[in-house]
Structure 1
Amino acid sequence: MDISRRIARSRPLATTAMHGRVDAMKARGEDVIDFSIAISHFQAPAPVLDAVREGLRLPSLPYTSVAGDADIRARLAAKVINDNRIPASSAEILVTNGCKQALYQALYVLADPGDAVIIFKPHWPAYVATCKLLELQPVLLDLPDEFTDAVLESLPPARILILNNPHNPTGAVCREAELDRIAAWLKRHGAHAIVDESYEKLIFDGVHVSLAARPDWRELGIVTLFSASQSYAMMGWRAGFAVAPAHVVAAMETLQGPITAAAPMLIQLALAAAVESDDPTAMLDNYRQRRDLVLGLVREVPWMTMRCPASGPYLWADITRLTMDSVGFSERLLSEHAVAVMPGDALGVPGHIRIGYISDDVATLRRGVQAIIAFGNGW
């Protein structure tokens, strides 16, 4: 049977493909350490579990409007007002089945085939893959150390700029002055911004500020994406939402209707409970200790450079002094040492690897990192 031209030239996401390979190995009984993805060893917050239990006691869990239950949207609007200083109404909230759906729908309604979309590398692979599915033109640029006026004015014309803040995989967090410059650039050039703030709660150093935390965010055309996956250790719940001007939300709702309709009501209840729960202090403290453990283990490794990330569940390692073939490095590491990492090629930057350090126990984390070091020393 023939398949469409659009999908025939597409490939599965490298991140999900690697995780799938590891799952298949584990299913065969193989002992594999999976650093290719970040799956928290923490459980979802207690208020989330309580909300689900209470939801299961309701007489029914109804269909909701495609954009989400009215009360849930109001609660999410209160969250972004109080936490993110985004002056949004419930009409500017769209509940989605995870952040990927919100990204797809935002790109679909803001751009037409052939439009340019600026993406900074290293990047979350879904940004590029989604652009290609929609026949948009991803423009890949190096993530700058700082968004200065000079950096911004050097950017090519584009319909949309995608900003990941906090950033996956480097852990960089934009300062407020940088966001002011980006907002000014958007205004001068008439471009839109899609801002992925999925890691907003995983901040070790500095302060997270939303690009849309300004009175003119609607005029600037800023769409902000949120996810419960990492910030609330809810990876398998597929709970996310978008904040966008009301007419953009309406357009995204029109698209979502025939695809999935509303997110499940039980997940909506869980999402609202998550964003209303306390900040994940214990989880963040644990992640910081793990981050520092890995940094200590690799500090004297001559062929690896790993900066201390200000946020996030990943460590980004430069192995160019050893090899530019990070795909080959990752493949051999998996086959010879049963340790999975994500090659930087998947995120647009060869010669690097990404390590998710929040899964399993600390002993397994240490064993896996030591295996990486031993493998590289013998490369």
Structure 2
Amino acid sequence: MHERVELLKLRGEAVIDFSIAISHFPAPAPVRAAVRAALDEPLLPYTAVGGLPALRDMLAAKLRRENHIDAQAHHVIVTNGAKQALYQSLYVMTDPGDTVIVLRPHWPAYVATAQLLGLHIVLADQPDVVDAAFLDALPVAKVLMLNNPHNPTGKVYTPAELGAIRAWLRARGSACIVDESYEKLVFDGEHHSLAACPDWETLGITTIFSASQSYAMMGWRAGFACAPAVWIKAMEALQGPITAAVPALTQAAAAAAFAIGAVPELLADYRARRDLVVGLFAPVPWIAMAAPASGPYLWGDVSALTVDTVAFAETLIDDYRVAIMPGEALGCPGFIRIGYIADDEATLRRGVAAIIALGDRWAAAGAAH
């Protein structure tokens, strides 16, 4: 959908893009300053495949300080965004045919990556509360994949839920990949890392981080993974022939970004936008949308209107030039995902008005039929 938006824009058409989250914020000033300083250096050499030693040391210190994960530099690999970290983690943790559990709705890359690696994918509907009863009903699996904070629902796992997951991993002998890319985008509650426990390495927990959304650095492709040391060595061996090290400029940007911590002004702006859009949809009878506890997306239940949200999304971009992500792409027909952080407020309001106009049109046509 985002590619279609780009093609329409190349033709000179005005399109509002809610299909992915593209922040209207610039990258933080320290990030831009760090890159400018790196450009003044006479050389930008290749680095070690897993990242500059100083950067890996710094990221390990960040994990200990902010996430309470007992990590050292040899537990960290710097990657080209979260997707490379995901692919390489899943590659070294599984063999073709192994079962991986993905909770639905899901970031599309989880399923696509597992398909590329020939894995058996079990989709399970994520409950409001993850507890022992839910976990015990899951099948035997090599890897459980989690997203905390969650894309697209904005769910933030509680300490009790994380404790139940750790107990399940110990009992089952399953490993876990948890994507914590939105750790700094929490509006309500507090983010806790699954690997914040003494036996995280024994349990086989890999944690993925990205600067893309937390620091408005979508195009920088700056991410990293924290994993048991033996898996990190395997991921380095894999990354070497694929891309080698992350570009030196991106590593400079990553060092500056992950040293910042949270970005309060960005979070306050997103919270205000979240509340605005949820308020605009509140009186609309055919959509149910709760204010998410985190993240750059809104997740709307339109099943009262239609479960064919692919058709809804196609009509919306064809007739109104507004792009959204249909729920089918995330495993849940009858829902739509809205990336609400792009452009200015006036554009945001126009896009929401177009979604409501199409929905009202469909609702009227359904009532007449």
| 1:250 alignment partner, one of 233, 239, 249 | 233
Q: What is the rounded CA distance, in whole Å, between the counterparts of 2:233 and 2:202 in structure 1?
A: 16
| 1:133 aligned partner, one-letter code | L
Q: Given the two structures, how large is their TM-score scaled by the length of structure 2?
A: 0.97
2:308 corresponds in structure 1 to 325
Equivalent of 2:89, from 83, 91, 106? 106
Which one of 109, 124, 140 corresponds to residue 141 of structure 1? 124
**How far 1:278 moved relative to its partner?**
4.3
Residues 275-333 of structure 1, C-alpha deviation per residue, up to 9 Å, x if partnerless?
Answer: 11141100000000100000110001000000110000000000000011100000001
User: Percent identity among equivalent residues?
Assistant: 62
CA deviations on 1:40-80 (whole Å, 9 max, x unpaired) are: 00011111111101111122111111111100100111111
Identify the residue that residue 38 of structure 2 maps to in structure 1: 55
Say whether 1:290 aligns with 2:273: yes
CA distance in 2, matches of 1:377, 1:63: 56
SS in 1 for 2:300: strand
Structure 2, gaps ≥5 residues long: 363-369
Please give the per-residue CA displacement for 1:181-210, whole angstroms capped at 9, x wherever unaligned. 101100100000000000000000000000
Give the match for residue 367 of structure 2. none
2:161 maps to 1:178: yes
Matches within 5 A, 1:189-208: 189-208=172-191
Is it true that 1:165 corresponds to 2:148 in the alignment? Answer: yes
Indicate the SS of the match to 1:100: helix
Aligned partners of 1:272 and 1:36: how far apart in 2? 29
> Deviation above 3 Å: which 4+ runs of structure 1?
none
Distance in 1, matches of 2:323 and 2:133, equals 39
Match of 2:220 among 225, 230, 237: 237
- SS in structure 1 at match of 2:128: coil
Q: What secondary structure, in the 3-state scheme, does the structure 1 residue paired with 2:9 have?
A: helix
Partners in 2 of 1:321 and 1:57 — Cα distance? 57
Q: 1:76 to 1:368 in 2, by over 3 A?
A: same
Provide the residue aligned with 1:222 in structure 2.
Answer: 205
TM-score w.r.t. structure 1 length? 0.95
In structure 2, C-alpha distance between the alignment counterparts of 1:337 and 1:59, rounded to whole Å: 50
**Which residue does 1:374 correspond to in 2?**
357
Summarize the Cα distance change of 1:144–1:362 in structure 2 as closer, same or farther, 3 Å threshold: same
Alignment of 1:26 with 2:12, yes or no, is no
**Which residue identity lines up with residue 121 of structure 2 in the other structure?**
P
Contact 2:320 2:354 in 1 (8 A): yes
Q: Secondary structure at the match of 1:306?
A: coil
CA deviation map 1:84-117 (0-9, x unaligned): 1111000110000111000000010000000000
Deviation at 1:174, TM superposition (A): 0.1
**Structure 2 Cα separation of the partners of residues 50 and 79 of structure 1:** 20
Q: Pick from 112, 116, 131: which aligns with 1:129? A: 112
Task: Report the Cα distance in structure 2 between the residues aligned to 1:279 and 1:102, rounded to whole angstroms.
Answer: 22
Structure 2 match to 1:302? 285
2:325 to 311, 333, 342: 342
SS in 2 for 1:378: helix
Match of 1:263 in 2: 246
Q: Report what 1:90 is aligned to.
A: 73
1:355 aligns with 2:338: yes
The residue type paired with residue 226 of structure 2 is V
Which residue is 1:156 aligned to?
139
Match of 1:312 among 261, 270, 295: 295
Q: Does 1:115 pair with 2:93?
A: no
Amino acid aligned to 1:319: V
Distance 2:38 2:261 in 1: 20
Distance 2:256 2:69 in 1: 19
- The reply to whether residue 46 of structure 1 matches residue 29 of structure 2 is yes
Contact 2:184 2:261 in 1 (8 A): no
- Counterpart CA distance in 2 for 1:226 and 1:158 is 23
Change (3 A) 1:160 1:278: closer
Cα deviation code 1:221-280 (max 9, x no counterpart): 000000000011000000100001111100000100100000011111110110111411
Corresponding letter in the other structure for 1:76: L
